[in-house]
Amino acid sequence: MSILTPRGIINSLLLIGLALVPFVTEAMGDSFYTGLISRILILSIAAISLNLLIGFGGMVSFGHAAYIGVGAYMVGIGAFHAFEDGIDWMLNGYVQLLGALLGSAIIALIIGAISLRTRGVYFIMITMAFSQMLYFTAVGVELYGADDGLSIYSRSDMLGLIDMSDEKSLYYLIFFSLLLILYFMHRLNGSHFGNIIRGTKSNEARMRSIGVSPYRYRLTAFVIAGTIAGYAGFLMANLNDFVSPDMMHWTRSGDLIIMIVLGGMGNLFGPLYGAVAFIMLEEVLSSIPLTVGGLRVGEYWQLIFGPMLILIVLYARNGIDSFLPGKARAS
């Protein structure tokens, strides 16, 4: 991936722009946008991890929000016990982070081990069913607020290394995490492992006939993607000071898929563009001041967003990616 292509330049400009966000919003005296863009970047991290499965691996997992939820609840539960029961170590950010990564990895391992024995629509349904099981589990646990969710009174304590309660530090933690994950995915896709994942999407029959049993590679990809989504959850809980079962609802998983479709599947930067477009459209469309027959149009923003999505799927098969110069090396 050379940076000196028109496409590389646009990608770099986007990243440079994102790097400057806190300074710009500071100059504008409005920190709202730092929070908004933080949210976009966290979602893009989750969407990039899901793109490893959908775009590169052809595994349409419809339950990816579950891992975000697992990661987020690790922060929420830790803060809860530190606050209620005075268990201080549970506020330790590194313990919470480890819990978020391990928890989401283990859950992804279990869900993946079962789901990856199926293909196509069955795979979609079974991953969605598992994520709904987690959703209803969270709804059922009264201790942690059931469906009201859990407010986080104290963000992860990173022992002085990063001040999570400072919006700017948190933003840069998110931004550099995104850069790191983008680079990791770039390496991964070109590696031996990435070859197997992309090859299996392209032609599983041929893969088997040249001597590869794809299952364990796909399961590994599933766990990698789940773990990164868990990390996104860890960040999200800190940003929102709040976790709730809603984060795991299947419609949240659907949002991540929409971001990938919007941005362009099987392309490294696609989910980032998709997440930016998705959240921006949500913001803009839902604040349309127009009123028709006593109904505020903004409240029904999805009525406008839906047809837009249909048009994109029909006429720009690769989403925003189709409008960028140069040809992305498709998976």
Partner 1 sequence: MSADILKVENLIKRYGGLLATDDLSIDVRKGELHAVIGPNGAGKTTLIKQLTGEITSDGGTVLFDGKDIRRYPEPKRSHVGIARSFQITTLFQNFTVLENVILAVQSHHGHSFRFWKNANNDPDLIEPALEALRQMGMENRKDVVVSELSHGEQRQLEISVALATNPKMLLLDEPMAGMSVEDSTKLIATLKELKGRLSILLIEHDMDAVFSLADRITVLVYGRAIATGTPEEIRSNDEVRQAYLGEED
Q: Does 220 bind partner 1 (CB under 8 A)?
A: yes
**Least distance in angstroms from the C-beta of 220 to partner 1:** 7
Instruction: Report the 10 Å Cβ neighbour count for 1.
Output: 13
Choose between 114 and 187: whose C-beta lies nearer to partner 1: 187
* 221 neighbors 197 (Cβ within 8 angstroms): yes
- List binders of partner 1 among 163-192 (CB under 8 A): 187-188, 190-192
**Least distance in angstroms from the C-beta of 313 to partner 1:** 19
Both tokens of residue 175?
């931004």
Q: Does 63 bind partner 1 (CB under 8 A)?
A: no
Choose between 199 and 270: whose C-beta lies nearer to partner 1: 199
SS3 302: helix
Q: Does 113 bind partner 1 (CB under 8 A)?
A: no
Q: Does 195 bind partner 1 (CB under 8 A)?
A: yes
DSSP string of 305-324? HHHHHHHHHHH-TTGGGGGS
Secondary structure element (H or E) that encloses residue 37, with its range = helix 32-51
Q: Does 291 bind partner 1 (CB under 8 A)?
A: no
Longest dimension (CA), the chain: 64
151, β-bridge pairs: 242
Q: Does 219 bind partner 1 (CB under 8 A)?
A: no
Binding segment toward partner 1, per CB under 8 A, in 14-22, 70-78, 200-208, 272-280: 200-208
Q: Does 209 bind partner 1 (CB under 8 A)?
A: yes
Sign of CA dihedral 39, 44, 45, 50: positive
Query: Where does this chain bind partner 1 (CB under 8 A)?
Result: 187-188, 190-196, 198-199, 202-203, 205-213, 217, 220, 330-331
